[in-house]
């Protein structure tokens, strides 16, 4: 990966000891049973990895990287942990419990730390959730995507339509108060009725959080090739906007509130604090192959391939592929991009005079409203969030 201000020299990362801002840990699990045709995340099937590495080698390397990370950031209390992938649930309850123990051996967790793991519905069970609860996880995020069998098929998802809801109920029965379901909308072949059925299923699951993302057709994926060959229709912006309105309407009627353009929760306690930490530009360490982190204005990212990553850690150095020292301008652009999308909005004090003038133009056309000291997206503006950001930063 390259970035505009990337440099070759090792980054100078300060200790975060004593800092009162939240500090997060992201732990990347780079394994999937099969690759979904739409996904370009840094993940590998067993066939792709062959004998080059193993889950045990990855676990040892995470252990080594966290020891190095602790040496850099010092005794900073961890406020949130997010185990993402890939498919963390492929590690099983014991594997995820061991990963959390590893993190705890290196870092002190805050008493109220939020500890989330992503899971794929097909690799979960009541025993799995019970083990996670016992190990100290506090939040489960399940990749549901859709309740329509033909949509799951286009996405190459291997779970049956009912499995995600059943898994969410099992997680709740195991004592998880905070459970998220991820939806994807706008998949080729999805109808309004399909989305309505997915929403009914989400509401039946009794979860307190929903993330819903429009399908992104990523270059180089099997899905992009199928669309290019004409086997599947491309996504349509008008359809996506209509589906977003359907989602938002159904979720609001059921007592959810949006707190970021693609995220809804039933209460403030149900929000994902780890994602909020990203959006607010706080500090986090990203451990694992290809993981990204941010420490006091420097962005860092790890080498992507699990075998190269493990080799780098075994060599005793941070397994970095690159880093970028953010300029004041970079930080400003990022702040605007991320905070406009949040319900708390962008504080007027963050904007420059020309940006305030353009924000007032967006107020005049109904995309932004003024709430106290912040500009906040209106319902109409949420459909056009990317355009609002572009025009503000013009």
Ligand X SMILES: C[S@@+](CC[C@H](N)C(=O)[O-])C[C@H]1O[C@@H](n2cnc3c(N)ncnc32)[C@H](O)[C@@H]1O
Cα angle, residue 22 at apex, residues 20 and 25 outer, rounded to 5°: 135
Closest to ligand SF4 by CB, 24 or 290? 290
**Is the Cβ–Cβ distance between 19 and 283 less than 8 Å?**
yes
Query: Taking the CB of residue 278, how many other CB atoms lie within 10 A of it?
Result: 17
Pairing mode, strands 368-371 and 374-377: antiparallel
Which of ligand X, ligand SF4, none sits in contact with 35, Cβ below 5 to 8 A by type? ligand SF4
Question: In the set 91, 215, 261, 277, which binds ligand X (CB under 6 A)?
Answer: 215
Asked if 304 interacts with ligand SF4 (CB under 6 A), we say no
Dihedral angle, C-alpha 167, 172, 177, 183, nearest 10 °: 20
Angle formed by the axes of helices 92-106 and 55-73, to 10°?
Answer: 20
Which of ligand SF4, ligand X, none sits in contact with 184, Cβ below 5 to 8 A by type? ligand X
Closest to ligand X by CB, 143 or 293? 143
Question: In the set 38, 44, 258, 284, which binds ligand X (CB under 6 A)?
Answer: 38
Question: In the set 114, 118, 190, 324, which binds ligand X (CB under 6 A)?
Answer: 118
**Which alpha helices (DSSP H) does 174-236 contain, by range?**
192-205, 222-228
Asked if 190 interacts with ligand X (CB under 6 A), we say no
25 to 44: interface string for ligand SF4, x by CB under 6 A: -------x--xx--x-x-x-
Q: How far apart are CA 276 and CA 298, in angstroms?
A: 18
**Is the Cβ–Cβ distance between 102 and 66 less than 8 Å?**
yes
Q: How far apart are CA 304 and CA 42, in angstroms?
A: 7
Closest to ligand SF4 by CB, 87 or 367? 87
190 to 229: interface string for ligand SF4, x by CB under 6 A: ----------------------------------------
159 to 188: interface string for ligand X, x by CB under 6 A: -----------------------x-x----
Residues in CB range of 263: below 8 A, 6 or more apart? 209, 210, 211, 271, 272, 275
* Shortest distance (Å) from residue 30 CB to ligand SF4: 9
**Is the Cβ–Cβ distance between 129 and 176 less than 8 Å?**
yes
Question: In the set 53, 117, 145, 367, which binds ligand X (CB under 6 A)?
Answer: 145
| Among 79-87, 92-100, 299-307, 319-327, the segment contacting ligand X (CB under 6 A) | 79-87
| Among 6-14, 34-42, 304-312, 344-352, the segment contacting ligand X (CB under 6 A) | 34-42
Alpha carbon 238 to its chain's center: 25
Token reading at 268:
């403030």
Please give the residues from 75 up to 104 whose contact with ligand SF4 meets the rule CB under 6 A.
Answer: 85-87
Asked if 289 interacts with ligand SF4 (CB under 6 A), we say no
* Shortest distance (Å) from residue 116 CB to ligand X: 11
Q: How far apart are CA 155 and CA 222, in angstroms?
A: 10
Question: In the set 17, 127, 177, 218, which binds ligand X (CB under 6 A)?
Answer: 218
Cα angle, residue 114 at apex, residues 290 and 105 outer, rounded to 5°: 65
Asked if 53 interacts with ligand SF4 (CB under 6 A), we say no
Q: How far apart are CA 194 and CA 148, in angstroms?
A: 6
Angle formed by the axes of helices 385-393 and 328-340, to 10°?
Answer: 150
Asked if 120 interacts with ligand X (CB under 6 A), we say yes
C-beta nearest to ligand X: residue: 143
Asked if 143 interacts with ligand X (CB under 6 A), we say yes
Instruction: Give the footprint of ligand SF4 on this chain (CB under 6 A).
Output: 32, 35-36, 39, 41, 43, 85-87, 120, 143
Instruction: Report the interface residues with ligand X, using CB under 6 A.
Output: 38-39, 41, 84-85, 87, 118, 120, 143, 145, 182, 184, 213, 215-216, 218
């Amino acid at each position: 990966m390259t970035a505009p201000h990337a440099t070759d020299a090792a980054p100078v990362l300060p200790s975060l000891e004593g800092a009162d801002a939240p500090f997060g840990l992201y732990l990347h699990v780079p394994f999937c049973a099969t690759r979904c045709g739409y996904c370009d995340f840094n993940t590998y099937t067993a066939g792709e990895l062959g004998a080059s590495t193993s889950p045990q080698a990855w676990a040892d390397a995470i252990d080594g990287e966290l020891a190095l990370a602790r040496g850099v950031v010092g005794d900073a209390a961890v406020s949130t942990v997010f185990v993402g992938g890939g498919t963390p649930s492929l590690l099983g309850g014991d594997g995820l419990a061991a990963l959390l123990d590893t993190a705890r051996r290196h870092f002190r967790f805050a008493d109220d730390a939020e500890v989330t793991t992503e899971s794929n519905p097909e690799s979960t069970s009541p025993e799995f959730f019970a083990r996670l609860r016992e190990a100290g996880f506090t939040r489960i995020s399940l990749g549901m995507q859709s309740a329509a069998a033909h949509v799951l098929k286009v996405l190459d998802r291997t779970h049956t339509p009912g499995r995600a809801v059943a898994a969410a109920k099992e997680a709740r029965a195991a004592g998880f108060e905070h459970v998220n379901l991820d939806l994807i909308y706008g998949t080729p072949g999805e109808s309004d009725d399909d989305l309505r059925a997915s929403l009914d299923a989400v509401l039946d699951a009794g979860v307190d959080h929903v993330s819903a993302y429009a399908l992104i057709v990523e270059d180089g994926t099997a899905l992009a090739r199928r669309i290019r060959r004409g086997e599947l229709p491309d996504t349509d912006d008008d359809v996506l906007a209509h589906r977003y309105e359907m989602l938002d309407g159904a979720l609001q009627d059921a007592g959810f509130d949006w707190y970021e353009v693609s995220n809804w929760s039933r209460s403030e306690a149900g929000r994902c604090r780890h994602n909020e930490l990203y959006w607010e530009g706080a500090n986090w360490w990203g451990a694992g192959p290809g993981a990204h982190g941010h420490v006091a204005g420097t962005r860092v990212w790890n080498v992507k391939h699990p075998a190269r990553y493990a080799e780098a850690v075994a060599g005793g150095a941070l397994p970095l592929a690159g880093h970028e020292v953010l300029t004041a301008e970079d930080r400003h652009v990022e702040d605007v991009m991320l905070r406009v999308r949040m319900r708390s909005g962008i504080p007027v004090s963050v904007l420059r005079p020309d940006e305030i003038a353009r924000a007032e133009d967006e107020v005049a056309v109904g995309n932004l409203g003024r709430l106290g000291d912040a500009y906040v997206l209106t319902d109409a503006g949420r459909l056009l969030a990317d355009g609002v950001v572009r025009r503000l930063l013009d």
